[in-house]
């Protein structure tokens, strides 16, 4: 095609401005690689009169993103507003209904409404693309839907929120508490306006839900994810884990089992020598396992202007080339409803607790673990204060249900000086 591909961009925050910059700076490169000129015809944002560091006066302005999405001179509606519902969803639906392609970085919208949006886009014969919604600049969506299309995916796991990884690695490097590093990360602008989206694991769980759908041919099922944030991870846990050869990461894992689809986002211990264990700062990493490729490790920046705008432009270029495939890698009407796994695959667990410093306290804990069917692999006691004796236990593989039973029983022993902490160990 010789006529320009025309974009309408809704949302001129960090990513939106990044997209504008790439299109302005790489005009010749984009045309050489796609065979078409790529231009911006119109934009929309909450505030018009704002210095965003890039000239916008050559583009038409729309106060209403729905009006932008349905303009005759827009071929691709680029949704960078965010939010699971509201203007982002309404404008996306309007664009699809008007026969426009849609590119979005909105993981929340896809996690909550991905299947109906995919059905609508495929019925209209338009693309709905979202590489920027998962892991920033890492091309994980393209890897799953294209490069690994011939594989039966067995498991995906990874660090999918750079802010949490920054907090956890910074705690270890500095020896400071969670509260101190949280305040630091917030001051540096690393956290969402609602920090709970980051530290509570919700942002990363949105991404995991999308990857699960592609990997296992299921409808996006965000509600089926077990979510636990990093708020209760202490510097004591990080130091103790390091002492035993582990690092603590907010880890997303999804796999299809005989019990159903297992999806969880929770802090876990991983071997310090593993790729995930060596991941530092705000970087993301996705590990994909398949029957033919065995394991692929993708590592890169998970957020930021350049990486996320780069992902958006990858989708723009595919549409410019005329490349189109189903939204989740196979026709949306063939996606099945996931049956959430009622229990997780057995794994070793790390337990930390403070015991009252008196004879028989440890024996009571050992008895509780034995009655729950939990055997001890390793145990360590550290120097203690006058009233509390810190104890660390690593179990052999056990179910999460057994751990829950044991933790509840521990509370009744009368020997706990502090609430026990249990973290799963993901070894493979």
Instruction: State the catalytic residues.
Output: 207
Dist CA 319 CA 35 (whole Å): 11
Contacts 24+ apart (CB under 8 A), 29-34: 30/313, 30/317, 30/320, 33/317, 34/5, 34/317, 34/320, 34/321
Q: Quick one: DSSP state of residue 48? A: S
Dist CA 375 CA 33 (whole Å): 59
Sign of the CA dihedral 71, 76, 80, 86? positive
Dist CA 39 CA 261 (whole Å): 42
Dist CA 332 CA 320 (whole Å): 23
Q: Is 341 helix (H, G, I), strand (E, B) or coil?
A: coil
Q: Is 350 helix (H, G, I), strand (E, B) or coil?
A: strand
The vertex-188 CA angle with 186 and 193, nearest 5°, equals: 45
Dist CA 223 CA 313 (whole Å): 30
Residue 308 in contact with residue 134, Cβ under 8 Å? no
Helix ranges restricted to H, 100-193:
107-124, 140-142, 162-174, 178-187
Sign of the CA dihedral 126, 132, 134, 140? positive
Strands 349-356 and 388-395: antiparallel
Strands in 76-79's sheet, in edge-to-edge order, are: 60-61, 38-44, 5-10, 76-79, 101-104, 128-129
């Amino acid at each position: 095609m010789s006529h320009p591909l025309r974009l309408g961009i809704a949302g001129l925050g960090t990513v939106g401005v990044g997209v504008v910059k790439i299109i302005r700076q790489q005009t010749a490169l984009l045309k050489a690689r796609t065979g078409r000129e790529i231009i911006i015809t119109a934009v929309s944002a909450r505030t018009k009169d704002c210095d965003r560091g890039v000239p916008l006066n050559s583009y038409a302005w729309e106060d209403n993103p729905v009006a932008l999405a349905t303009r005759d001179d827009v071929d691709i509606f680029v949704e960078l507003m965010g939010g699971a519902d509201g203007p982002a969803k309404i404008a996306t639906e309007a664009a699809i209904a008007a026969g426009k392609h849609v590119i979005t970085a909105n993981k929340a919208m896809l996690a909550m409404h991905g299947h109906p949006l995919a059905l609508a886009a495929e019925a209209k014969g338009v693309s709905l693309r979202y590489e920027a919604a998962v892991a920033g600049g890492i091309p994980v969506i393209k890897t799953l839907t294209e490069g690994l299309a011939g594989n039966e995916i067995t498991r995906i796991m990874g660090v999918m929120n750079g802010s949490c990884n920054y907090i956890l690695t910074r705690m270890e490097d500095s020896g400071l508490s969670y509260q101190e590093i949280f305040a630091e990360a917030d001051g540096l602008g690393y956290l969402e306006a609602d920090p709970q989206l980051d530290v509570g694991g919700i942002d990363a769980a949105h991404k995991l839900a999308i990857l699960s759908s592609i990997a296992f041919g299921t409808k996006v099922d965000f509600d089926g994810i077990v979510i636990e944030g990093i708020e209760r991870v202490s510097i004591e846990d990080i130091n103790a884990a390091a002492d035993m050869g582990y690092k603590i990461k907010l880890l997303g894992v999804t796999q299809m089992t005989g019990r159903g689809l297992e999806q969880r986002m929770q802090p876990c211990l991983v071997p310090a020598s593993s790729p995930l264990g060596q991941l530092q700062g705000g970087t993301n990493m996705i590990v994909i396992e398949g029957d033919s490729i065995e394991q692929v490790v993708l590592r890169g920046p998970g957020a930021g202007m350049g990486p996320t705008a780069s992902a958006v432009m990858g989708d723009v270029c595919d549409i410019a080339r005329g490349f189109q495939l189903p939204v989740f890698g196979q026709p949306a009407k063939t996606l099945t409803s996931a049956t959430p796994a009622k229990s997780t695959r057995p794994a070793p667990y790390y337990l930390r607790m403070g015991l009252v410093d008196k004879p028989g306290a440890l024996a009571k804990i050992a008895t509780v673990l034995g009655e729950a069917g939990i055997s001890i692999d390793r145990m360590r006691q550290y120097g203690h204060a006058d009233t509390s004796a810190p104890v660390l236990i690593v179990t052999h593989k056990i179910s999460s249900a057994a751990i829950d039973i044991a933790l509840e029983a521990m509370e009744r022993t009368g020997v706990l000086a502090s609430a026990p902490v249990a973290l799963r160990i993901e070894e493979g």
